[in-house]
Amino acid sequence: MSAATRPFDVDAIRADFPILTRMLDPDTPMIYLDGGATSQRPRQVLDAEIAYLSHDHAAVKRGAHRMAGAATDAYEDSRERLAAFLGAPSAQEIAFTKNATEALNLVARSLGDGDASTPEHLRVREGDEILVTEMEHHANLVPWQELARRTGARLRWIPLADDFTLDLTDLGSLLTERTKVLAVTHQSNVLGTITPVDRLVEAARAVGALTVLDAAQSAPHMPFDLARLGVDFAALSGHKMLGPTGIGALWGRFELLEAMPPFLTGGSMIETVTMEASTFAEPPARFEAGTPPISQAVGLAAACDYLDALGMEQVAAHEQSLTLRAVEGLAGIDGVRVIGPAASPQRTGAVAFDVAGRHPHDVGQVLDSLGIEVRVGHHCAWPLHRRYGLHGTTRASFSVHTTAAEVDALVDGVARTVEFFGALS
């Protein structure tokens, strides 16, 4: 994290995103409200990848030629850049992955590896418990279900309350000495609800449980400081934070990573190899088997630069004001119900809603005809929807380039959707 170096001027920001000039029909500009699924990329990110590929590209960490050195420098500089953005004490605590999903699988697989030399606190076994929440994205639920299945551990979850926040009433009986891992999202990708990380981390520490944070949704939208969060692991995706697809990262405390067995194995992650067996490199290389996503790492570093130049406080404030505007506007339409907490500092820029009697696919189809691109369905959070008796929702999510006028267009579009179906039936 660092201080902003440019004013938060949405028009100037929009000029950085080439895709925002796209028209969907001759008279229909594109209104992109699906950054929660994947973000658009500013030219600074696109340019950084092109510059790297035009000047420095080679395989990293092998070969004696100068290009290999240039590529390795670019890749490792990107690791440093991401570490600084996240407030990580050391770049060696960051392993690049394919995305947040892979980062979470890395932790879950490693903890269930069963290698006898792994210290007890990094081994999940039968009798242990894994605690998640009912609002997790499938990426932070299914890997833990599978870890429980493989090891015989028990999966438990913190339930959601009627007010769309976590119900911590029974936390004392859910998070106990038996809990080996607490894995929670930083922010619901559907409800916008922000998890009370401080309280959960404190409780987890008190019982000696490892803490894993799914930061895929939060890292691009709020000031992020690992030192302050106090978790043991955090996972994120580049493509949700203005960066490229194909790159994500796992941050973990070095002393934990150092004692953990690898997840994927192969080239680049070894120390010595014989026909019978291998020993493994120190982190982060131990967790980066095969040729990594190099230009994507460079692009992700440029995305960190871009966000830091805007200032994450300003980014958060911008998206908060849009969220408030959307929640108020949508709640004012007859038959529309916002699925998430009322606008407050405890929620952020994903706004899901239900249009009475209309399937979200049908809602999204009408909005698309107006150029408004939103997500429909269960948003990879099926249990959350089931909790509220919903089969799906329509979700708008806001980004640095979203304007108040676009939010107004959304509200107007939803009102027109209600009218459209009202007139047909």
Cα distance between residue 215 and residue 224, in whole Å: 9
What one-character DSSP code corresponds to residue 137? -
Closest CA to 371 of 53, 22, 110: 22
Pick from 81, 156, 186, 385 the residue near other proteins by CB under 8 A: 385
Q: Does 416 bind other proteins (CB under 8 A)?
A: yes
Contacts of 245 (CB under 8 A, 6+ apart): 38, 99, 238, 239, 296
Residue with tokens 């690049």: 96
Told to check if 414 binds other proteins by CB under 8 A, we report no
378 belongs to the binding site for other proteins (CB under 8 A): yes
380 is catalytic: yes
Residues 6+ apart with CB under 8 A from 69: none
Residues 324-363 that bind other proteins (CB under 8 A): 359-362
Where in 257-349 does DSSP place strands (E)? 270-273, 278-280, 336-338
Q: Does 365 bind other proteins (CB under 8 A)?
A: yes
Q: Are 123 and 114 in contact (CB under 8 A)?
A: yes
Selected binder of other proteins within 59, 369, 388, 415 (CB under 8 A) = 369
Work out whether 420 is an interface residue with other proteins (CB under 8 A). yes
If one asks whether residue 26 binds other proteins (CB under 8 A), the answer comes out as: no
**Cβ nearer to other proteins, comparing 90 with 365:** 365
User: Is the peptide bond between 341 and the residue preceding it cis, with omega within 30 degrees of 0?
Assistant: no
425 binds other proteins (CB under 8 A): yes
- Our finding on whether 137 is near other proteins (CB under 8 A) is no
Site membership for other proteins, residue 424 (CB under 8 A): yes
**Six token digits for residue 94:** 């960051």
Q: Which of 201, 231, 269, 380 is catalytic?
A: 380
Does 25 interact with other proteins (rule: CB under 8 A)? yes
| 392 forms part of the interface with other proteins (CB under 8 A) | yes
The answer to whether the beta carbons of residues 95 and 84 sit under 8 Å apart is no
Q: Which residue of 82, 376, 396, 407 would you call a contact of other proteins, by CB under 8 A?
A: 376
Choices 147-155, 309-317, 339-347, 413-421; region in contact with other proteins by CB under 8 A: 413-421
Q: Are 95 and 288 in contact (CB under 8 A)?
A: yes
- Applying CB under 8 A, the residues found at the interface with other proteins are 25, 359-362, 365-366, 369-370, 376-378, 382, 385, 391-392, 416, 420-421, 424-425
Active-site residue list: 380
